[in-house]
Structure 1
Amino acid sequence: MVLGSLLLLAVLLPGVHLKRNDASFQPPSDSERPSEAQIYRPVLQHSESIPPIGTYMLKNKLGKPCIKATVGVEYIITEKKMWYFSLDPSRVVTSGRCDDGEAVLSLTLPDNAASLLLYFKKEKSLFYVTKMMAHVSPLPVCKGCPNKTYQGLVDHEKLFKTADGRSFKCKSENLLLMSSQLQIKLVPVQMQAFTLSRGQYGKEIECWADFNKRVIPIIIGATVVGLILIAGLTYLFIKDRRRQGYDSL
């Protein structure tokens, strides 16, 4: 009865409107509105740190491992000063392809925020990395600075060359100049392509930097010991000659 009277009043008297008291018709507050999808963007750091190490594996069409890489990856950006960003293995998506004589390993962050591509080539009984490509699209380094993507490549090289069926290993850092503003540091690194027995690394081939670090101290130590022995023998020889001279008088 009351509702009918109100409807009649709204019809007869202009300017009178009925308003439904229902919470579902209230506009959502700012906190209730769905937020826009967040795009992942790397954050550059002022200081350098040891990059976390990840192990990445790629299989061929038959499901057999064809590339394995254990590596820590650091991006070094030159933008008025040096900036650093390390690849987080927990966020990396591994992809690529494996053919008989060529293979590609791609390490990519969400939203393609950063990537590192390694192109492998097999030549007779050797394999090596012939090309590397990298890019990173970080948050701007300063407030009001424009968004930038830093990218570069190293091409026509024979990096990490190793005999087929063996793995290249290097504890020393490998610093690669990708462009005037981008460098890639790999430390440490172990990798093998094409021939992987049960997905395990083959016999390790030591890089020259590690070999020099291990052998040079031995050479220096042996040289110092040799000089000490020579000095000692020379002293004894001179002392013995002098004693012989005194006896003749």
Structure 2
Amino acid sequence: MTHVGGVQSWCLGVTLQLILAAVLHQGLATVAPPTTAQTTAAPHKDPGRPEKGNYMVTKSNGTVCLLASMALQLNISYNSLSQNKIVQDVVNLQPNLTKASGSCDLDRASLQLFTDELTHLNFTFTLNATSNKYHLSQVSLLVHWPDMKDPLSAFNGSVDELRGTLGFSYMCREEQTLSLAQNWSINTFQLQVQPFGVTGDQFGAAEECQLDEDDMLIPIIVGAALAGLVLIVLLAYFIGRKRSQAGYQTI
């Protein structure tokens, strides 16, 4: 039975290595790249996880042409009146205080979100009619909060994020960061968006982001490794038992 015990120890070691490799893979996949933004003050208090809002854009005839469901968090550096220096602030977009509008064309759709505090955020999506693929192509932001010395107006017209297929929605449950400029970025949570090919007022089938796929990979690897361990241990047990019974046979 010493042989069986050795096999079991070897199987356990291999399984632990597989599980550790899967965990390390997940950790490396979700580490965000370092930011290059420079500020002279630490961020304000963490506002916590933002609340998810549901938004839609309709055509002039009332037909829904864009759907979005997401929680948004703004990371902004600005010149503070109260502190008299550049500070970095993290602010959650509150759905109950946010209004939505926008427009839709054959190959271009926009979602505009704005609040009473003069926070105006605009997402523009572009559709490639040849490949039937769409992506987030432009993001603009205008904010003028009470503590700002001057309004912040920013625009990025070369975005290539949230890629999906016509008739399908793009989904990313995990937190992801849209790095748009040195002084501002957007964190998204539980995001699902469909800017083209909307039928009725429901999302089409979802195409999930890589972060979600990596997150689902861990339990699959662990489950497969454990199942393999159980199978090998059982096999080693029966082989050892058969050899033990053969050793006691009379000649």
**Inter-partner Cα distance in structure 2 for 1:91 and 1:133:** 19
Paired residue total: 200
Encode CA deviations 1:190-229: one digit per residue, 9 max, x unaligned.
Answer: 1111222222222222222222222321221111220232
How far apart, in 2, do the equivalents of 1:168 and 1:175 lie? 15
1:109 to 111, 115, 119: 115
Residue 228 (str. 1) matches residue 230 (str. 2): yes
Correspondence for 1:26:
none
Larger radius of gyration: 1
CA 1:218–1:242 in 2, change beyond 3 Å: closer, same or farther? same
Change over 3 Å in CA distance of 1:248–1:139 after alignment to 2: farther
Which of 100, 122, 141 is the equivalent residue of 2:106?
Answer: 100
Partners in 2 of 1:61 and 1:176 — Cα distance? 31
Unaligned runs of 5+ in 1: 1-43
Q: Which of 149, 153, 176 is the equivalent residue of 2:152?
A: 149
User: Which residue in 1 is equivalent to 2:124?
Assistant: 119
Q: Which residue is equivalent to 2:139?
A: 132
**Which consecutive unaligned segments of at least 5 residues does structure 2 have?**
1-42, 79-85
Alignment check: 8 A CA contact 1:150 1:182 kept: no
Counting aligned pairs with the same residue, the percent is: 25
Q: Determine if contact 1:154/1:177 at 8 Å carries over to the other structure.
A: no
> 88-97 or 148-157: which moved more?
148-157
Matches of 1:176 and 1:189, distance apart in 2 = 12
**Secondary structure, aligned partner of 2:220:** helix
Q: Runs in 1 of length 4+ with deviation above 4 angstroms?
A: 78-82, 145-148, 245-249
- Does the CA contact (< 8 Å) of 2:138 and 2:155 recur in 1? no
Measured at CA, do residues 235 and 165 of structure 1 come closer, stay the same or move farther in structure 2, by a change above 3 Å? same
Contact map agreement 1:130 1:155 (CA 8 A) in 2? yes
Select which of 143, 150, 170 maps to 1:168: 170
Residue of structure 2 equivalent to 1:69: 68
Q: Distance in 2 between matches of 1:137 and 1:87?
A: 14
TM-score by length of structure 2 reads: 0.67
Deviation, 1:108, is 1.7
The 1:234/1:152 distance shift into structure 2, 3 A limit, reads: farther
AA partner of residue 77 (structure 1): I
Secondary structure of the 1:120 match is strand
| Relative contact order, higher structure (CA 8 A, sep 6+) | 2
1:180 — aligned with what? 182
> Equivalent residue for 2:21?
none
CA displacement 1:139-160 (0-9 Å, x = unmatched): 43xxxx8456374537241x22
Give the match for residue 195 of structure 2.
193
Closer, same or farther: CA 238–152 of 1 in aligned 2, 3 Å: farther
